[in-house]
């Protein structure tokens, strides 16, 4: 589904990604963990075209996408849910969701997509006519995930869904992510806190200083003394 080869990216003269390689299969759940400020968000922004790559190749669903515009990449089914949720505060929940299906190819299926989103996130169905700015932090996170599902997503990239949320709300958000993973959509998730993903059957990449320094299953990383001591503080 996704192949990244020798990917580099910079902000001005500062190189943030330095030769990143990764592969993600159809229906796979891949998690990228690592310290804050070491390139996780930049990785997603570069894959989705929001930040131009300074080197390397990105192939999605059999086609090169490095250099393509973000809207073209999204129209092919690679959907990026960024940090901060970014709802349109004066629009209703349902209007925000409808914007996720704005491209012509997705618009004709918006009613079916809404039904699916409301089935996964019943709280959004209860608040469909409520303005987004009145939602709680957890509800805004659900709205961001739901808006991503309104597209014909083949791959959903999710950036730190736990950011700024209370632990009990984080658990709820990850239950919804588990449902999304179970639906067969490929998911690439970035997370700083490894504990949030320990219950998942996922492959994990550890990103440090713009490079992949460890790769394995969650179980393998939990048995890696260097990873546990250096990156997880145990």
Q: HEC states along 99-159? A: HHCCCHHHHCCHHHHHHHHHHHCHHHHHCCCCEHHHCCHHHHHHHHHHHHHCCCCCEEEEE
Percent of the chain whose pLDDT exceeds 70: 97
Query: How much is the mean pLDDT over the chain?
Result: 90
- Residue 234 predicted with pLDDT over 60: no
Instruction: Give the tens place of pLDDT for each residue, 120-152.
Output: 999 999 999 999 999 998 999 999 999 999 988
Listed by start position, the domains of the chain span 2-230
Residues 6+ away with beta carbon under 8 Å from 97: 113, 114, 117, 124, 143, 146, 147, 150
CATH of domain 2-230: 3.40.50.300
Pairing state of beta strands 14-24 and 2-11?
antiparallel
Report residue 228's pLDDT band, with 50, 70 and 90 as the boundaries.
Answer: confident
Strand ranges (E), the chain:
2-11, 14-24, 29-33, 55-60, 63-64, 78-81, 155-159, 186-191, 203-208, 211-217
Report which of residues 104 and 50 the model is more confident about.
50
| Mean pLDDT confidence for 101-115 | 81
Angle at 8 between CA 6 and CA 14, to 5 degrees: 155
Asked if pLDDT for residue 81 goes beyond 60, the answer is: yes
């Amino acid at each position: 589904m996704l192949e990244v080869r020798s990917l580099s990216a910079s902000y001005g003269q500062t190189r943030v990604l330095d030769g990143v390689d990764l592969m993600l299969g159809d229906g796979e759940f891949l998690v990228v963990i690592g310290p804050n400020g070491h390139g996780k968000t930049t990785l997603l922004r570069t894959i989705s075209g929001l930040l131009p790559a300074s080197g390397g190749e990105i192939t999605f669903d059999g086609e090169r996408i490095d250099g393509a515009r973000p809207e073209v990449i999204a129209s092919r089914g690679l959907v990026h849910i960024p940090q901060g949720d970014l709802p349109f505060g004066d629009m209703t929940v349902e209007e925000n969701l409808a914007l996720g299906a704005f491209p012509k190819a997705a618009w004709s299926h918006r009613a079916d997509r809404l039904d699916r989103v409301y089935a996964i996130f019943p709280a959004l169905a209860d608040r469909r006519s409520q303005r987004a700015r009145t939602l709680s932090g957890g509800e805004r996170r659900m709205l961001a995930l739901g808006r991503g599902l309104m597209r014909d997503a083949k791959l959903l990239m999710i950036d730190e869904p736990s950011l700024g949320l209370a632990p009990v709300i984080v658990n709820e958000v990850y239950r919804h992510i588990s449902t999304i993973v179970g639906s067969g959509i490929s998911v690439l998730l970035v997370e700083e806190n490894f504990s949030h993903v320990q219950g998942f059957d996922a492959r994990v990449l550890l990103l440090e200083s713009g490079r992949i320094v460890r790769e394995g299953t969650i179980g393998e990383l939990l048995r890696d003394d260097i990873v546990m001591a250096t990156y997880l503080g145990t």
